[in-house]
A and B are shown apart, each in its own frame.
Chain A
């Protein structure tokens, strides 16, 4: 087994291979660093505050108090941190992208549910404002929904990219 820092077998992938511009290697690298910065920051805000984070998750009305909620509060910030570090270092980029895709889909669903609750109570959609518990403080729901949708698309691009540059690849030595 050999670990190498790889710039990819085809440095021009995304320009001459007929691959979509979204898979341009430098754009993909920018996507990785963007997602990494956001999720590392979000994780650091939550690590070491499991009770507060459990309350924030509970406020969505999806998971009730109990072991599953508290386990999420303990583990989820570390999942975000490790995914962020993996994207920066180039280790397990696709695995991180898959997790962040799932997390963003989940965040979108619960934020949409909570927003729908406020709208149902008579608050105009554009005026719905709350702390999503994401680690960035209170913001307008429409803004958060747009942000999370963008992160979801970025994670999808990272997952679906034919190849990544600036990654650590693990190859088996041929005997």
Chain B
């Protein structure tokens, strides 16, 4: 019984220290969030749904191509080395895991009036959707996620830009 009581006390202490360290780290982290001010739901519309809806909409290659041609803002959510090797023409680099480096400079050139297309490596990566959610939380509401990502774009033989913009 004494063993269990000690274990419970130790567990409470570990949980308390974890909470303090976790919140402190989160406060200074580049990817930190405010758990109390996050929206309860980010609307995500499936591929093929109607344009013009607020929130995140999943788009296919054809619509991604139209977006690029129409001059919509394009965000590349991959790492810098992947971006430098090749990206969709006009795409702005915004590494999802390095928010602190890119957030201010990217947000400065984005507008809530026009649509913003986000992509990452390939259909299985989730960083484009996560970044789109992050942008939604920052107030951008016309967000498109090109699910096929750079792999589908380059695989289709569409134009690719190399190096930093």
Q: Total number of A-B contacts with CB less than 8 angstroms? A: 97
Q: Provide the main secondary structure of the chain B interface.
A: helix
Q: In the assembly, what is the distance between CA of A96 and CA of B9, in Å?
A: 10
Query: A152 contacts the other chain (Cβ, under 8 Å)?
Result: no
On chain A, which size bracket covers the interface? 20 to 34
Secondary structure call for the A interface = helix
CB distance from B50 to the nearest CB of A (A): 24
Return chain A residues, CB-CB under 8 Å to B17.
82
Whether A64 sits at the interface, judged by CB under 8 Å, is: yes
Pair B38/A96 contact, Cβ less than 8 Å? no
- Which of A65, A67, A74, A81 counts the most B-chain CB atoms under 10 A from its CB? A74
**Once the chains are docked, how many angstroms separate the CA of A79 from the CA of B19?**
8
A32 to B154, CA, bound (A): 48
Closest Cβ–Cβ distance, residue A119 to chain B (whole Å)? 23
| Residue in B7, B30, B36, B42 whose beta carbon sits within 8 Å of that of A98 in the complex | B7
| Chain B residues, Cβ within 8 Å of A74 | 22-23, 26, 33, 35
Q: A48-B31, A71-B35, A94-B6 are in contact. Are A99 and B11 (CB under 8 A)?
A: yes
A164 to B40, CA, bound (A): 45
Residue of A nearest to B21 (CB): A78
A residues 78-101 near B (Cβ < 8 Å) are: 78-79, 81-83, 86, 92, 94-99
Binding site for A on B (CB under 8 A): 3, 6-15, 17-19, 21-23, 25-26, 29-33, 35-36, 38-42, 97, 126, 130, 133-134
